[in-house]
Homo-oligomer: A and B are copies of this chain.
Amino acid sequence: METVKNDKQTFLKRTHTCGELRKQQIGETVVLNGWIDTRRDLGGVIFLDLRDRYGITQIVFAPQHDEELYRRAQLLRGEYVVAVSGIVEHRPDGTYNPNIPTGEVDVVVRELEVLSKAETPPFQIKDRVDVSEDHRLKYRYIDLRRPTMRNNLLMRHRMAQTTRRYFDEHNFVEVETPFLMKSTPEGARDFLVPSRVNKGKFYALPQSPQTYKQILMVSGFDRYFQIVKCFRDEDLRADRQPEFTQIDIEMSFVDEDDVFTISEGLMVRLLKEVLDVEFAAPFDRLSFIDAMKRYGTDKPDRRFGLEITTLSEIVRDVPFKVFSDTIKNSGAVAGIVAPGCASYTRNQLDNLVELTKSLGAKGLVYVKMTEKGYETPVQKFLSQDDLAAIANAVGANTGDLILIVADTWKNCYSVLGDLRLEFGKRLELIDHDKIDLHWVTEFPLFEWNEEDKRYYAMHHPFTSPRLGDIEKLKESVEGVDARAYDLVMNGNEIAGGSIRIHTPELQSIVFDKLGITPEEAEQKFGFLTDAFKYGAPPHGGIAFGFDRLVMLFAGQKSIRDVIAFPKTSSGLSLMDGSPSEVSEEQLKELHLKLRL
């Protein structure tokens, strides 16, 4: 075992990592490289934990071995990077550390080299340290030394490798699609990249490789996948990033079942290999309408009950106008039960009404079911029979609180969906050890946007309508379903996709219904519809939000904790200070002026 440097060596190179030594190496001379973690001085002996990615090994300096070395060890501080050579020894009985795999041994140091000194870090290198996220992001290189962050990124690595192996085994081809593409804003805003060589022109960063992966199907690649960065210049919400990663998939000669089978296989494999959890395919399927009516959302968290009950039929003719008029105006009335919440105080109930309004509903009707009967502010509008019918329908028992919303169809269910989640949390009904995975299917093809007074594609304009709905589509977009689907995990949409349109004729009809003129369609998507003219296979695909998927697997609350270098919600990178001002010279070359 060589422990002195040869001519070419610039430092003592490790023979083992800090996670590697066991009883078997006792007596061997080894070299370790790593960071000084913690330090204990006991009875004139210095014990240091030496840390690297692979683990921690205790190293020992005792004055009786080498006084000069001992003095130098006294100068070592936390986060110094050192190389040590020494002999592996059995720790004395009673000093084993059962929490680490190297806990039975330590290394008595014979040679020490300081590779880098370190200032005191801005915060401690350990989990659950109380530090603001901005501070963590500014000093990300320190933050990434913390065990949780390291493990998050190692899990992300493992998931990426497993994903690619899975698709490779299933005959998918990884094809890199361009990052500098054409700007075709439709939905979210593009990030633009000015061209220096082509004056006044711009590339756009991809919001998704959608058109390219469809082109690859037309080219006959049959099965495509890619783990790829995508970009959306949105007003960032708490858990959005301007750049995000998706697992992107497209398949030829398929229908929904094929896409589901491949996607379920991926999830089953990831759960098994990464979390050692068995989960059986096929997954449940819920239609969009069912998901909305039972859970008030298109991404239900089914790890707990509290399902919504539709009350429209029951309250259609009650004297209470708020209910009956809502039904007359094509709205809906529905409710949920908050078990045991009949004890809520007036104040708690007022807050609940406020919460409901802030969620977008016109109001909330609550009914306490007490030993004394029904208690509700709308007592005079609803008979005991009506109240009993409602209580019976929602399945309420004595001691429960019934929450009822009457509103437009969408508002009614989505507000109740939010209240359901709120009570799931309040009452701690969510079983966090449980995994819920299911498909939501049969989405509407179009969605009305009240602001722009126009229809938008609910998924994207390349999604095929349900085949039986194509004739209907020529007349009206209302009631036309899409061959679109989402995969939902624990109340999070983790993937979404569709069977695509593959003929220029049907694509034209859909563009037309979206108010995209033939000229505009040609200018934006002409290359795709042109491609369809030369023989396009039936095809479909899906894209997984990889950041969110890793977040859920790692049990984290924010995607920022599974991204090495994320941006803040205002798009700032606090570590490197981007975005930043650029020189007038750079702007000139790009033929741009600031509009300030």
Contact = CB atoms under 8 A, between A and B. Distances in A.
27 contacts: A8-B255, A13-B258, A35-B535, A52-B222, A53-B222, A79-B535, A116-B503, A118-B533, A119-B534, A142-B534, A156-B176, A157-B174, A176-B563, A178-B565, A178-B573, A179-B205, A180-B571, A181-B573, A182-B573, A189-B586, A194-B194, A195-B579, A199-B596, A201-B578, A203-B578, A591-B595, A593-B594
Interface in A152-172: 153-154, 156-157, 160-161, 164-165, 168
A267 interface: no
B537 A183 contact: no
Contacts of A181: 573, 576, 578
Interface stretch (A208-216, A353-361, A422-430): A208-216
**Residue of A183, A257, A536, A582 most packed against chain B (CB within 10 A):** A582
Given A11-B538, A14-B253, A534-B141, A35 B220 contact: yes
A141 B535 CA distance: 10
Given A201-B580, A221-B53, A193 B196 contact: no
A79 B580 contact: no
Interface string A344-386: 0000000000000000000000000000000000000000000
Contacts of A577: 182, 526-527
Contacts of A222: 52-54
Interface in A496-551: 502-503, 526-527, 531-538
Interface of A: 8-11, 13-14, 33, 35, 51-54, 79-81, 83, 115-119, 121, 140-142, 144-145, 150, 153-154, 156-157, 160-161, 164-165, 168, 173-183, 185, 189-205, 211-212, 215-216, 218-222, 229, 231, 233, 235-236, 242-243, 245, 252-255, 257-258, 467, 502-503, 526-527, 531-538, 563-565, 567, 570-573, 575-582, 586-596
Most buried by B among A174, A255, A571, A575: A575
Give 9 closest A-B pairs by Cβ, nearest first. Answer: A118-B535, A144-B219, A182-B578, A201-B579, A79-B535, A195-B579, A33-B253, A53-B222, A141-B531
A69 to B, nearest CB: 20
A520 to B, nearest CB: 12
B588 A202 contact: no
A532 B119 CA distance: 10
B595 A118 contact: no
B197 A576 contact: no
A211 B576 contact: yes
Contacts of A593: 592-595
Contact of A242 (B153, B180, B183, B243): B180
Given A157-B173, A564-B216, A33 B201 contact: no
